[in-house]
Every structure is written in C-alpha cells, then in structure tokens.
Amino acid sequence: MEVTRREALRSVVSKCVPVATAALVLPEARAAETTSQPKAPVGMLYDATLCIGCKACVVACAEANDLPRDVSLDGLHQAPEDLNAFTKNIIKLYKPHDQSPDSFVKQQCMHCIDPACVAACPFKALWKDDENGIVAWEPSRCIGCRYCEIACAYHVPKFEWDMINPKIVKCELCRPRLAKGYEPACTSVCPTHAVIFGPREDLLSQAKERIEQSPNKYFENRVYGEHEAGGTQVLYLSHVPFEDIGLPDVGAAPIPARLNWQKRIYKFLALPLLMYAMLASIMKKNWIDHRREMREEEERTGLRPQL
C-alpha cells in the first residue's frame, strides 16, 4: 500500500512536470507547422441517393474497430443516436415535416485535407498521414484535452465519458485494414455501393460524372467536400440540401488558418498543468509527514495505526 501510493505520487509529479513543460514549449512549434499535401490521398464517396439505410456499414465499422455493440438507445438494437465513444460511423435519417424528399446520411470523420483537429492537438496525437492523407490518432499521446472536439466543424471526435482515463474516438478510415490491403469495413459491406472507397481524385471524377449524367438529380450539381474548408477526403452527393443532412456550410478556407484562439488556449493549458504539479508536490509532503507521525505513534503505543 505504502509503496503503491508513493509510486502514484511520484508518477503524478514525474508526468505533470514534463507535460506542463511541453504545454509551454509546444504551442510555438505547432503554430510553426504547415500541413504538407499527401502523395496519394484516398477517401470515400457517399451518394445519399443510393443509400437504403440498412446500417450494414454501422455494424461492420463496430466489428472492424472492436467497438462494443452500442445498444444505449433501447437496450436491444445497435441503433446509436449519434457518433459517440462506441460509434465511429452512423447512418441518420433526415425526414422533413413537409412533402419534400427525405434522405439517409452517413457520418464519420471527413479526413479533411487541412484538418482543424490536427492543428488543435497540442501533443500531435492526431496527425495527417503523408502518404494517403488519413487523419490518424495515436492513443499514447492523447491526454483527452478535447481541443480536437472543439475545433472540428463536423463534430466528429467524441470523448470517452465513461472511462477512467478518457481519450477521444474517431474514424481513421480503417487504416489497420488498409495496411493489410483491405478496403474500409463500411465500404466493403455496402450492398448498394452508396459508399465507395478509392483515391480521392478518382472519387471526385466519378462524382462529377454522376452529376453530368443526371443534371437535375443532385443538390446544386456539386460535390460536398471538393472545396469545403479546404476540401475533404470523404466526399458527398445528395439530392437534398447538404445542410439539411448535417453537412455544414463551412466556407472554402481551411479551418486551421482561422484558429488564432489556439495559441491562447495552449498558454492557458499550461496553467492547470502546473497547478496539478504543485498540488502533487504538496500531497507528497503531507504524505511523508503523515508517515512520520504514524511511526512516532507506533513507537509510543506499540500499536500500528491503519492507513
């Protein structure tokens, strides 16, 4: 018990000091970084007009990512209401109250070309793969600060509220599967090919071809993700307005360029971390004093006090 607590204290102190130091040092380094363009960006094309809402992709995603069945809605069916710590991919139904057409929509990480989450992460837990442009995540570097969650215009990273050491969860375009030569789980099971995988350039050409072949079918005859926030590697075609199915109007400028608040927040991050380190050292001193008192008590009475 004694050793465990001491070890815990040591661990808190030894972790907080470097983290606080990093928080002071990293902002400048992160701010100086520029996002390089990946060599061969891959992505997905989701065509809402082809989706039948079967949710095979949702189940396949959970399986491929070893996520537990999310039955939080009714306790029986895997039917999460939104992306969450157990759900990296979701199908939602947009059903307007008037007679205008309804639509399914698939949501997961958009794999932005210039990702706000990467720019916001103080510890490089999120990064963009140089080769294929996937926005990847390294759990050992993530401290669960949730800056990525705030920065993402698509509300993708989700926090593990139920965990003791919570981090974030998001789609990584099935990169372990890609590394083995497979396509993403969601695209591999889609019965109608509503969502397909491939090089971004090919997907974009294919999307434009579909628009050309059916000029009145798709909303504004355009591909969502071609230019939005600097472009995304997940592209969308829809027969209903993009905003109605949760694809926000984010403008064409990349979001990291607009993150001037980031530097300020990083500076504020250093303050709580330093306070944690100070708190840990006070706890350590109290613990040593307490141990000394216990020894004195034991010598005086012959009784060993319980911790």
Residues contributing to the site for ligand SF4 (CB under 6 A): 51-57, 60-61, 64-65, 88-89, 91, 104, 106, 108-112, 115-117, 135, 152, 154, 156-157, 170-171, 173-174, 184-186, 189-192, 194-195
Rank residues 91 and 270 by Cβ distance to ligand SF4 and give the closer one. Answer: 91
Q: What are phi and psi of 107, to 5 degrees?
A: -125, 135
Q: For residue 30, give Cα distances in angstroms to 134, 139, 143.
A: 19, 19, 16
Nearer to ligand SF4, 203 or 273 (CB): 203
Q: Which is nearer to ligand SF4, 64 or 269 (CB)?
A: 64
Least CB distance from residue 4 to ligand SF4, whole Å? 38
The conformation of residue 220, written as its DSSP 8-state character, comes to: G
- What's the start-to-end Cα distance of the chain, in Å? 9
**Shortest distance, position 124 Cβ to ligand SF4, whole Å:** 14
Q: How far is CA 83 from CA 12, 158, 239, 246, in A?
A: 32, 7, 23, 13
Q: Closest approach of Cβ 52 to ligand SF4, in Å?
A: 5
Neighbours of 257 (CB within 10 A): 12
In terms of C-beta density within 10 A (0-12 exposed, 13-18 middle, 19 or more buried), how is residue 15 classed? middle
Nearer to ligand SF4, 91 or 204 (CB): 91
Handedness of CA 198, 200, 202, 205 (dihedral sign): positive
* Nearest in space to 110 (alpha carbons), one of 252, 281, 228: 228
Closest separation between CB of residue 127 and ligand SF4, Å? 11
We find the least distance from the C-beta atom of residue 35 to ligand SF4, in angstroms, to be 11
Bridge partners (DSSP) listed for residue 42: 199
C-alpha closest to that of 116 among 264, 261, 235, 294: 261
Minimum distance, C-beta of residue 161 to ligand SF4, in the bound complex (Å): 18
- Shortest reach from residue 165's CB to ligand SF4, in Å: 21
Q: If DSSP codes are grouped into helix, strand and coil, which group holds residue 104? A: strand
Q: What is the DSSP secondary structure assignment for residue 17, as one 8-state letter?
A: H
CA-to-CA distance for 210 and 214, rounded, in angstroms?
Answer: 6
In the bound state with ligand SF4, the residue whose beta carbon lies nearer, of 30 and 88, is: 88
Taking the least distance from each CB to ligand SF4, the nearer of 84 and 108 is: 108
Between 51 and 280, whose beta carbon lies closer to ligand SF4? Answer: 51
